[in-house]
Structure 1
């Protein structure tokens, strides 16, 4: 099965799309069957759509507006539903609008899918800061516990999964502010339905956003909410040691204390009644 659909969620950030994601798609040695682009906060006008189509040349483009909860998860779910309806026997591959695929990314995933036997194929990710690779995450033998305390290397832009499986596990969690990749990985692994293969090489460049308004910026309200939401969803699966590591990681990476996160959980519970 070489039926690959590229899925992009964007707020929209068209300048980043034209600079990063779209050239990555055009340059693939194995071209996808189509691109499904979901705009989160507004419809794209006809001129914007035509410019996107022109950039993608002969690759068909399907443009949607997020019909679910605002955010990446709702946008991806809107796209997954569309792909399941129109390309049911397919893989979809996610690329964030500001990330880059190496030219062999899709062909490498297909090569390691064992003629479509694998449900998921995961490549490695280069973490780039100021255009310099600071580390490369090469996932292998992933377990649920890996994602409770961190992320060993399954993110948005290296998600390559059968559309049917993604739909069966319910897609992403609508309204989850951050940690969508970890939450999705946990639910896929817990389903017991997934046959996973690994390319064992990095073909994705994650352009780590260092701007002050980035989702992962230290002390950001979005990251605080996301950490609290993740703990509400998956905290009961953590051992005491894993819980300690979770809070230590939040403090080290995002300047969020245990009391900050627990306080946000209380606030969310009050808001949700």
Structure 2
């Protein structure tokens, strides 16, 4: 592969229709990826055959998104990894713009702004609203109370940097994006940039998501994140984290 090769990595589980939509957005990129790897984390074989630039690797048993992403990162060959959740999509210029920003600045990490796509009960019913724009600078303390703008679908990162950070924490049922953001921000000499143009579409749908308020995965991840990082927090940050948990998720940490 060429020195600037891009590997797209998609973990999936029992969502073939959404996965096909995600793959269609990858196929529509103006800068085509050099490889696309789908990690099947379901307990039934995925009905998607490896074809062309898309390869499928099946987990021996369901282990969750963090482990699926980490396994994929150990297998891909590109200099950069572009992560995409199976229920999200990209604007056609996403990879081209992320690569340009990374190569121009010789960066390790590029985060891109995203839009929230609220899907209604009727087929085709959508409301698209602006969501988060990644911060200008990455500071560890910004990830201790809230997520300032890193998700599994806007993470464009050099493979070496992902490995140096230790990948996703496989012990966290959820909140692993905030956890990774904290550890990336702690890396000495991290070269980071952002794309303020919203090129990532975060789909809010009626199906189960890791961020679904009140779900067991969401609650367990929230409490596990607090247990892991409370030692890094000031009392005011702990209080703010708990207040957000109550407000957004209806959970008492």
Fold in common (TM above 0.5): yes
Distance apart, 1:17 and its partner CA? 0.8
1:120 aligned to 2:109? yes
Distance apart, 1:222 and its partner CA? 1.5
Contact (CA 8 Å) 1:5, 1:92: kept in 2 or not? yes
SS of alignment partner, residue 149 of structure 1: coil
SS of alignment partner, residue 150 of structure 1: coil
Distance apart, 1:68 and its partner CA? 8.4
Q: 2:133 aligns with which of 127, 134, 138?
A: 138
Matches within 5 A, 1:1-273: 1-18=3-20, 20-42=21-43, 44=45, 48-50=47-49, 53=51, 58=52, 60-66=53-59, 70-83=63-76, 87=77, 90-115=79-104, 117-130=106-119, 131-139=126-134, 140-211=136-207, 213-257=208-252, 261=253
Distance apart, 1:115 and its partner CA? 4.2
Unaligned segments of structure 2, at least 5 residues:
120-125
Q: TM-score, normalised on structure 1? A: 0.84
Cα deviation, 1:52-99, whole Å, max 9, x if unaligned, reads: 63xxxx4x222112368710001001101112xxx1x51000111110
Distance apart, 1:255 and its partner CA? 0.6
Cα deviation, 1:6-46, whole Å, max 9, x if unaligned, reads: 0000013111111x21111010000000101101133636x
Distance 1:17 1:235 in 2: 36
Q: How many residues align?
A: 244
Distance 2:163 2:222 in 1: 25
Contact (CA 8 Å) 2:41, 2:62: kept in 1 or not? no
Distance apart, 1:243 and its partner CA? 0.9
Contact (CA 8 Å) 2:115, 2:128: kept in 1 or not? yes
What is the match of residue 122 of structure 2? none
Cα deviation, 1:96-149, whole Å, max 9, x if unaligned, reads: 111010000000001111347100111101122122123321112121111111
Contact (CA 8 Å) 1:11, 1:39: kept in 2 or not? yes
Distance apart, 1:193 and its partner CA? 4.1
Contact (CA 8 Å) 1:165, 1:193: kept in 2 or not? no
Higher helix fraction (1 or 2): 1
Q: TM-score, normalised on structure 2? A: 0.90
Contact (CA 8 Å) 2:114, 2:132: kept in 1 or not? yes
Cα root mean square deviation, aligned? 1.9
